[in-house]
Amino acid sequence: MPKEKYNPYNNFLKVMDNAAQIMGMQPDEYVTLRYPERELKVSVPVKMDDGSVKVFEGFRVQHSTLLGPGKGGIRFHEHVDIDDVKALAGMMSFKCAVVGIPYGGAKGGVAVDPKTLSRSELERVTRRYTTAIIPIIGPQKDVPAPDVGSNAQMMDWIMDTYSTNIGYPVHGVVTGKSIEVGGSLGRNEATGRGIMIITRQILSARQKPVKDAKIAVQGMGNVGSISALLLAEEGATIVAVSDVSGGVYSSTGLNIPEITAFIDGGKRPLTEYSAPGVTHISNEELIASDCEILIPAAMENQITAANAKNIKAKIIVEGANGPTTKEADEILTKRGVTIVPDILANAGGVTVSYCEWVQNIQAVLWDISNVNDFLAKILNKAFDEVYAASLQFGCSLRNAAYIVALKRMSTAHRLRGIFP
């Protein structure tokens, strides 16, 4: 009998069902959240630089708009499919709900490897995809943002394409834009800053200081590198970091500013970096490295049943979306490892996206202190609520985060009712 294909959306449903069961919620109270409100699949035909025409598949899923407009990134990756997008949209609903910002959850994607495209091809793919999803996006409907494989420049193209079709500038249709076209100060580093705030909070809950805490960070992209930099500034000892090429380790701590300058935003691989006392390790060795806190900030499914038993960290702060499989989660929980879930740990990005959206629709500007103060206030409050729920129900932080979010969404559902 063939092995059943892993379905990320089914896994999302299991996590939601488990949280509902723990809190004694009846199926009728949240059954609508098991079904995305809208799923759109589009073809994206593009003329390539050599004159040929390629057609890419694109998706946009709106999981829930109970609490506000859909919110979620657009992923450009060759392995994007509808089940991935559905699962990520569902997680966005819970992420926005757990931090208490007035957004629903959505996600988009195009099945393409952006690294194989020229700049002009990437622009044409982005603009054609935007044109295809225009009927369902907008500042009060669904607000996209960057994700894996996309960036601020692509958000600028989305804003321009939408505005050109509408007939006037609409800055609030997308977040994560360049500052010059309506982006927000602090947005670029928001997810990494949020991870620093949440790491500080979980250590405080354990009555431990950040200073000298040994931390390993898997993934030195935007999220991982900023997390490592800010935690190092807080006094933590970053003992290991990695990128797709491999990692480096030093028991006495790495020079994170030097490393981030060396890799230059991913232009140079970590395998070429060297310094006294630094050894080269694989990503698997990083996951199993001798540290107090592990921050997986790369891709999904990095911590699995196969490597969970090797993890030495007592705390895992999920910087990436879905870095821990369900099987690994169960193994680590039984071993007493605390996992701060992705929908709480990496919610800094969507929180500051909210700041950007508010500035756009109100035509106001916030300075960096306003943004960072708002981010800290929202995340500290969300952590306290999740931690309190974990104590109340005697459950993991992941279940507690889903409980907090599910309560908010089910209450909104009850108050709004079902039309007609």
Q: What is the pLDDT of residues 222-247, one digit of tens each?
A: 999 999 999 999 999 999 999 999 99
Q: Using an 8 Å Cβ cutoff, are 413 and 25 in contact?
A: no
Q: Please list the active-site residues.
A: 107
Domains recognised in the chain with CATH numbers: 36-170 (3.40.50.10860), 190-342 (3.40.50.720)
- At 11 the pLDDT is 87
Averaged pLDDT for residues 114-134 = 98
Residue 60 pLDDT greater than 60, yes or no: yes
Q: Using CA atoms, how far apart are residues 281 and 327, in angstroms rounded to an integer?
A: 25
Residue 62 pLDDT greater than 60, yes or no: yes
pLDDT of 67-83, one tens digit each? Answer: 999 999 999 999 999 99
- Quote the pTM value: 0.94
Structure confidence at residue 5 as a pLDDT band (50, 70, 90): low
Residue 193 pLDDT greater than 50, yes or no: yes
pLDDT of 276-311, one tens digit each? Answer: 999 999 999 999 999 999 999 998 889 999 999 999
Residue 190 pLDDT greater than 90, yes or no: yes
pLDDT of 140-189, one tens digit each? Answer: 999 999 998 999 999 999 999 999 999 999 999 999 999 999 999 999 99
Residue 35 pLDDT greater than 60, yes or no: yes
Residue 3 pLDDT greater than 60, yes or no: no
Averaged pLDDT for residues 370-387 = 98
- At 4 the pLDDT is 55
Residue 371 pLDDT greater than 50, yes or no: yes
- At 1 the pLDDT is 38
Top pLDDT among 249 and 266 is at: 249
The average confidence (pLDDT) of the chain is 95
Closest CA to 72 of 167, 169, 163, 175: 175
List 353's β-bridge partners, or say none: none
- At 2 the pLDDT is 43
Helices 222-233 and 256-263 cross at an angle (nearest 10°) of 160
Closest CA to 239 of 288, 205, 194, 195: 288
Residue 407 pLDDT greater than 70, yes or no: yes
Averaged pLDDT for residues 5-31 = 92
